[in-house]
Amino acid sequence: MIPTFPYFMLNYYAKLIEFSIKLKLSRPDLFEKYVVDYGIYFKGEIVDIGLIKRNDDFENLDHMELHEIYILCRQSMKWGIISFITFPIFGIVTILV
């Protein structure tokens, strides 16, 4: 069994960067509202998309391409978490069976 967790997390990271860049260009007001500092390198470059709860501003984007990237970003994170949880469970079940 190949762990898919790294794939989903790298996909999430790529979509988050793409979403942040496109949001900065098309909706600078929303970008400034949700921009966060991720360390030294990404200071003021990445937005917080709200992984714990839905972000109403991003859910109701009128720009279809931005909305699609936002949805893909959230789905990649969701699948990354599911993959991270299920991989050890399958390993334990395989050993026990």
Cα separation of 44 and 92, whole Å? 42
Q: Tell me the pLDDT tens digit for each residue of 3-34.
A: 777 888 899 999 999 999 999 999 999 999 99
Name the nearest CA neighbour of 8 among 73, 69, 68: 73
3 state DSSP class of 74: helix
CA dihedral 72, 53, 31, 74 (to 10 degrees): -10
pLDDT digit string, tens, across residues 34-78? 998 777 777 788 898 887 788 889 999 899 999 999 999 999 999
CA separation for the pair 3, 89 (Å, rounded): 12
pLDDT confidence of residue 1: 58
Any idea where the domains of the chain sit in the sequence?
A: 5-96
